[in-house]
């Protein structure tokens, strides 16, 4: 991708998100969806909801999506030339069901220092208001890391049922991140985001791909009590904050 002369970075810094960026053409997007369908058939829908964490080590198509040059070009523009893949995690909502993702920030429980990470949300399926697309509260990352409580609503898909309090006025400013399969949105690690239930009969699957700069370190356990296993994808790691992890597959594109 040609440099956008800092436009993406300016918007990202101000709003905390970017959306509607095509990163895979229709043929690629269909291939990835077919591969996901096969994975779903293998492991079952329940596991697919939120149980597929870091499967880029085991399934090449997840690695391929996470290393798409069009995604990495954008990430590079936001965090600089040294880019590590921190983690991947599918969020798959089947409808019609009441499962939702409560308002939260990503980095609150990740134990990173400084708490700085960026997520690409890659649309495996078309994602819209009807099937519970992601929502963000623009600019909310400027408030820094916030204390989270527990959601009192049944069906929160988050690992420790966390939720950050949001006023009605704040919720009214939320933006729907409507994406077609093969597009991505980007969100800042401190932006408040979540998603409503999928009330349609269509699946809404997205692959969240987390990236950091190698200057970030793990200062505390994350909520899953697992050490992160970041992989250097671009540039150099001058910091060696993490045990080096080899690429699970070659970088094929
Ligand atoms: O896919 C969703 O609805 C939520 C994703 C999310 O919470 C995240 O990227 O941290």
pLDDT, tens digit (0-9, with 9 covering 90-100), for 163-211: 999 999 999 999 999 999 999 999 999 999 999 999 999 999 999 999 9
Domain that holds residue 131: 7-233
Q: Is the CB of 106 under 6 A from ligand 1?
A: yes
Residue 124 CA, ligand 1 centroid: distance in Å: 13
Query: Residue 25 falls within a domain, yes or no?
Result: yes
Domain with residue 176: its CATH number is 2.60.120.620
pLDDT category at 3 given cuts 50, 70, 90 is low
Q: Which of 191, 195, 222 to mutate to test the pocket of ligand 1 (most atoms within 8 A of CB)?
A: 195
pLDDT, tens digit (0-9, with 9 covering 90-100), for 83-121: 999 999 999 999 999 999 999 999 999 999 999 999 999
Q: Are strands 134-136 and 149-150 parallel, antiparallel or unpaired?
A: unpaired
Query: Residue 224 falls within a domain, yes or no?
Result: yes
pLDDT, tens digit (0-9, with 9 covering 90-100), for 222-237: 888 888 999 999 999 9
Residue 120 CA, ligand 1 centroid: distance in Å: 10
Cα Rg of the chain (Å, integer):
17
Report CA 187 to chain centroid distance, whole Å.
7
pLDDT given at position 253: 61
pLDDT category at 43 given cuts 50, 70, 90 is very high
Query: Residue 108 falls within a domain, yes or no?
Result: yes
pLDDT, tens digit (0-9, with 9 covering 90-100), for 114-162: 999 999 999 999 999 999 999 999 999 999 999 999 999 999 999 899 9
Q: What is the rounded end-to-end Cα distance, in angstroms, of the chain?
A: 14
Q: How many distinct structural domains can be found in the chain? A: 1
Query: Residue 76 falls within a domain, yes or no?
Result: yes
């Amino acid at each position: 991708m040609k440099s956008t002369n800092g436009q993406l970075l300016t918007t990202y810094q101000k709003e905390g998100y970017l959306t509607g960026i095509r990163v895979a053409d229709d043929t690629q997007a269909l291939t990835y969806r077919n591969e996901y369908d096969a994975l779903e058939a293998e492991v079952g829908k329940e596991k697919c909801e939120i149980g597929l964490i870091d499967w880029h080590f085991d399934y090449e198509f997840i690695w391929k999506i996470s290393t798409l040059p069009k995604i990495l070009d954008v990430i590079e523009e936001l965090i600089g030339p040294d880019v590590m893949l921190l983690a991947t995690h599918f969020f798959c909502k089947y409808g019609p069901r009441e499962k939702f993702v409560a308002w939260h920030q990503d980095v609150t429980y990740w134990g990173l220092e400084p708490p700085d990470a960026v997520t690409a949300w890659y649309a495996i399926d078309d994602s819209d208001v009807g099937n519970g697309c992601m929502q963000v509260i623009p600019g909310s990352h400027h408030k820094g890391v916030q204390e989270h409580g527990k959601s009192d609503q049944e069906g929160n898909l988050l690992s420790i049922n966390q939720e950050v309090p949001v006023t009605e006025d704040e919720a009214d400013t939320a933006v729907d991140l409507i994406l077609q399969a093969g597009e991505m949105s980007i969100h800042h690690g401190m932006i408040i985001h979540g998603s409503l239930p999928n009330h349609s009969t269509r699946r809404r699957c997205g692959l969240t791909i987390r990236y950091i700069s190698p200057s970030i370190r793990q200062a505390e356990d994350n909520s899953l009590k697992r050490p992160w296993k970041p992989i250097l994808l671009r540039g150099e790691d001058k910091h060696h904050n993490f045990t080096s992890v080899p690429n699970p597959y070659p970088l094929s594109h």
